[in-house]
Amino acid sequence: MDILITGLLLGGTYSLIAMGLNLQYGVARIMNLANGEMLVIGAFAAFWVFTAGQISPILSIVVVAPLAFLLNWLIYRFMLLPLVRRAKSAGQLEVDSILATFGLAFVFVGIMIATFGGEYFTYSYLAEPFVILGETYALNRVVAFVLAAIMCGLLYLWLNKSRPGMAVRAVAVNPESSGLVGINVSRVSAFAFGLGGAVTAVGGTLISTFLTMDASIGVLFTMKALIIVIMGGVGDVRGVIVASLILGLAETAVASLIDPGLTLAAAYFMFILILLFRPQGLFGRRSS
């Protein structure tokens, strides 16, 4: 039971890391390697607001989310849209966007180091014990999990029950045909990219309450997000949730039952299994 809850909490963290990338890659077709840096920026913002004004990281989401949306929307509009227009095939866009966002990651790291310096930033927020079924957990992780669940739920409902959500899904399935039925593909893509960035930054804000970070740690999160998105299947919210939970549970089970040293091995073992037996991901569609 303890392993189950710890694993679920870790899975919630992972879904925060990966959900934004899923939107960006699945809908806007941008394999955003600067995803982890966006997460660190969100964390930085929370840290800054918390140490400067004792303002709760949860409240700072209200500011972080729109700002991150705007920033990512601008990035898509002015940096990535020219690449999308120029690309002759999906493959070319993938290569171009990987190169461009790889560069962008360095720009972000540079800006963060120039403005905040390179040292570790960490603060204590809700670092209190929280008892579930007689076992103790960190309250900040529980809060992050609950908010992650709410965020994933809202995203899922919005994508599946609303008209704009349907347009987003249509673009995820097939950009060309979506254009034919009157969807403004570049606008929807820009929106999805911005939304993905906002979700990632909010994830960073929540994660900063329990992880110690520094300006150059983003790449770790990008790697984790890539694994989860590919495991879950590109462009499907359910895939990310399920893959995150599986990964969280597997890592916790291995750490508690076998050896903490093997958590990474367990994660990559799962990854290889899925690549071998379901290369399109758990919820992915087989590419035609």
* Binds other proteins by CB under 8 A, chosen from 71, 98, 122, 166: 122
Binding of residue 146 to other proteins (CB under 8 A):
no
* Binds other proteins by CB under 8 A, chosen from 27, 101, 252, 283: 252
* Binds other proteins by CB under 8 A, chosen from 48, 137, 156, 158: 137
Q: Minimum Å distance from CB 71 to other proteins?
A: 21
Only one of the segments 25-33, 84-92, 124-132, 180-188 lies at the binding site for other proteins (rule: CB under 8 A); that segment is 124-132
How distant is the alpha carbon of residue 230 from its chain centre? 12
Binding of residue 211 to other proteins (CB under 8 A):
yes
Only one of the segments 26-34, 73-81, 138-146, 192-200 lies at the binding site for other proteins (rule: CB under 8 A); that segment is 138-146
Binding of residue 103 to other proteins (CB under 8 A):
no
Sequence-distant (≥ 6) Cβ neighbours of residue 262 within 8 angstroms: 254, 255
Binding site for other proteins (CB under 8 A): 2-3, 6, 9-10, 13, 109-110, 113, 117-124, 127-129, 136-139, 141, 210-217, 220, 224, 248, 251-252, 255-256, 259-261, 263-264
